[in-house]
Amino acid sequence: MNISVFGLGYVGVVTIAYLTSRNHNVVGVDVNSLKVKMLNEGICPIVEKDVPEMLKDAKDKGLISATVDAAEAIGKTELSIICVGTPSEPNGNLDTKYLKNACEEAGKSIRDKVSPHIFVFRSTMLPGTMRNIVIPILESSSGKKQNEGFYVVFNPEFLRESTAVFDFYNPPKTVVGSDSEEIAQKVLSLYEGLPGPMIKTKIEVAEMVKYVDNNFHALKITFANEIGHICKSIGLDSHEVMNIFMKDTKLNISTYYLKPGFAFGGSCLPKDLRAINYLARTLDLELPLLSSLLPSNHNQIQSAIKRIISQGKNKIGIAGFSFKEGTDDLRESPMIDIIEALIGKGYDLKLYDRNVYVAKLVGANKDYIEKHIPHISALMVDSLDEILEDRELIIIGNKDPEFIRIIEEARDDQMIFDLVRMGDKVYERANYEGICW
């Protein structure tokens, strides 16, 4: 395939090295004439393992050239990959001036082109940037319409400096966001044979995925560093502690706990967070991440309460109020906070949880319920049918399999507020709302 790559920085040059290694003819484009000159001479303009040798090989095979003229590059190619920088502005927003300039030049360059051109964007950009900035500029500068005179695709990169070539050939996933199934498949063909899942999705989802990756990496580093400060202060080897932590790939290093939903609760997480933060204070340590977790969890509970109240329904049913399905443990269940708030505001409540029987509660669980919601027995009903019968709003509080009935059987005049993503999908019905989806 004949491909042009806009932006001869880190991502662009590594992309060129990869594409030419697969025998694609590539034209590099940049406003910096020195970078263009270097590439034309087969010289690598960045420092990255294996790339200089790959570019020299591409030059020897006649697969690589470079120019400052966008129109020349697009005229020779059928697909353009945009890798220009999107640095930060002082307020944290993205500086899109390079992106806008590239789109302006690219759009002008296809104005008189007969065949539809494909633009693949690898520049990191906030969700909505493609739809609100990139596509309008391409349309206005080209005089053509998306999905007619040209196509756009967002294809985020997941490269690490110093290991970029290895990462290119060993991606954990390949993501393509496009409005066209056919064009998405054509872009994916550039990566044919590489390991990892090939994912076709919406443009905005693909834009967001890159930020989720990088922010999670930052979260992990910060978490490990804060644990390290505690360990050092009490004379423990933080690496030994974390090496043991990482042995657990069932929960600790896994996909578990990574689906958006309601607040955490139970007898362990809140208690242990309070304890570790108390320890940090006694050691005069400031741990912004660990100290932010309980307030953030509280905000999730308050957000749910506000959204319940905003529905304007008085007769409310709660299905599931133990802190998770399959247990009768009510200690620090976030659902108890919701129940308390609604009782205090005078709502007509019915509560159902087949695992919670007040007469059978003993010990700490009984003490907890008597302290927080002593009138719970008067609010509880014996079956889900009683919730479905007359409630105006039904809240799903945990993932008991029985509660799928609410999704299937609720009437059109009954609002469903799902805190746990029952059935693990979005339901296309007007009376359904999820807390984070």
Q: Please report the DSSP string for 101-132 in residue order.
A: HHHHHHHHHTTT-SSPEEEEE-S---TTHIII
Question: 210 exposed, middle or buried (CB, 10 Å; 0-12, 13-18, 19+)?
Answer: buried
Give the position of tokens 């247990």: 327
Pick from 183, 201, 219: which residue ends a domain?
A: 201
Share of the chain above pLDDT 70, in %: 97
Cα–Cα distance measured from residue 44 to residue 33, given in angstroms and rounded to the nearest whole number: 14
Residues forming the annotated binding site for substrate? 158-161, 210, 257-261, 265, 324
In a domain, 281, yes or no: no
Task: Band the pLDDT of 258: cuts 50, 70, 90.
Answer: very high
Number of structural domains the chain divides into: 3
| H helix intervals, 22-150 | 33-40, 51-60, 70-76, 97-109, 129, 135-142
- Which positions are annotated as active-site residues? 268
Spatial distance between the Cα atoms of 188 and 92, rounded to a whole number of angstroms: 32
DSSP string, 221-270: HHHHHHHHHHHHHTT--HHHHHHHHTT-TTTTSSSTT-S--S---TTTHH
What's the full length of the chain, in residues? 437
- On whether both 192 and 216 belong to a single domain, the answer is no
Does 107 lie in the same domain as 190? Answer: yes
> Residue 217 belongs to what domain range?
205-258
Which amino acid makes up residue 275? A
Select from 128, 191, 192, 129 the least CA-distant residue to 158. Answer: 191
- Report the relative pairing of strands 117-121 and 348-352 from DSSP bridges: unpaired
Torsions phi, psi for 153 (to 5 deg): -140, 140
Distance, CA of 327 to CA of 348 (rounded, Å): 25
Task: Say whether pLDDT at 25 is over 90.
Answer: yes
Least confident of 152-161, 222-231, 257-266, 322-331: 322-331
Last residue of a domain, one of 186, 201, 216: 201
Residue 19 lies in a domain: yes
CB atoms within 10 A of CB 33: 11
Helix (H, G, I), strand (E, B) or coil at 416: strand
Of the two residues 210 and 367, the one the predictor is more confident about is 210
Q: Are residues 220 and 165 in the same domain?
A: no
Q: What is the DSSP letter of 88?
A: B
Domain finish residue from 167, 201, 235: 201
Rounded Cα–Cα distance for residues 263 and 395 (Å): 14
390 has a pLDDT exceeding 90:
yes
Reported as a single tens digit per residue, the pLDDT across 145-197 is 999 999 999 999 999 888 999 999 999 999 999 999 999 999 999 999 999 99
Q: Is residue 139 located within the same domain as residue 209?
A: no
Query: How confident is residue 324, by pLDDT bands cut at 50, 70 and 90?
Result: confident
Q: By C-alpha distance, which of 430, 419, 374, 147 is closest to 262?
A: 419
Q: Are 242 and 163 in contact (CB under 8 A)?
A: no
- DSSP label at residue 9: S
pLDDT value at 426 more than 70: no
Distance CA 156, CA 208 (A): 9
Same domain, 344 and 407: yes
**Please, which pLDDT band fits residue 332 given cuts at 50, 70 and 90?**
confident
Per-residue pLDDT at 330: 82
Assigned token pair, 63: 């697969």
> Beta strand pairing status for 150-154 and 174-178?
antiparallel
Would you say residue 15 lies in a domain?
Answer: yes
Query: How far is residue 232's CA from residue 234's CA, in Å, rounded to a whole number?
Result: 5
Q: Please name the amino acid found at residue 300.
A: Q
pLDDT of residue 245: 97
- Is residue 408 included in any domain, yes or no? yes
Q: Please name which of 323, 215, 217 lies closest in space to residue 270, comparing C-alpha atoms.
A: 323
DSSP of 372-396, one letter per residue?
A: H-TTHHHHB-S-HHHHHHH-SEEEE
If asked whether residues 172 and 228 sit together in one domain, one would say no
| 212 and 76 both lie in a single domain | no
Residue 283 DSSP code: T
In a domain, 283, yes or no: no
CATH number of the domain that residue 384 is part of: 3.40.50.720
Cα-trace Rg, the chain: 28
Mean of all residue pLDDT scores within the chain: 94
Q: Do 216 and 309 lie in a common domain? A: no
pLDDT score of 137: 98
Report the 10 Å Cβ neighbour count for 283.
Answer: 13
For residue 275, being part of any structural domain is answered with no
The answer to whether residue 268 sits within a structural domain is: no
Which tens digits make up the pLDDT trace of 36-52? Answer: 999 999 999 999 999 99
| Nearest CA-CA partner of 11 in 135, 124, 97 | 124
Tokens of 96: 């899109």
Do residues 61 and 187 both lie within one domain? yes
Name the token pair of 87: 């640095």
Rounded to whole angstroms, how far apart are CA atoms 61 and 393? Answer: 68
Q: Please tell me whether residues 138 and 14 are part of one structural domain.
A: yes
Residues 311 and 326 in one domain: yes
The answer to whether position 277 is within a domain reads no
Regarding whether 220 and 138 lie in a shared domain, the answer is no
Contact 333, 322 (CB under 8 A): yes
The per-residue pLDDT for 386 is 97
Cβ-based neighbours of 410, under 8 Å, separated by 6 or more = 388, 394, 416, 431
CB 101 within 8 A of CB 71: no
Query: What pTM did the predictor assign?
Result: 0.88
Cβ burial 316-335 (10 Å sphere, 16+ → b, else e): bbbbbbbbbbebbbbbbbbb
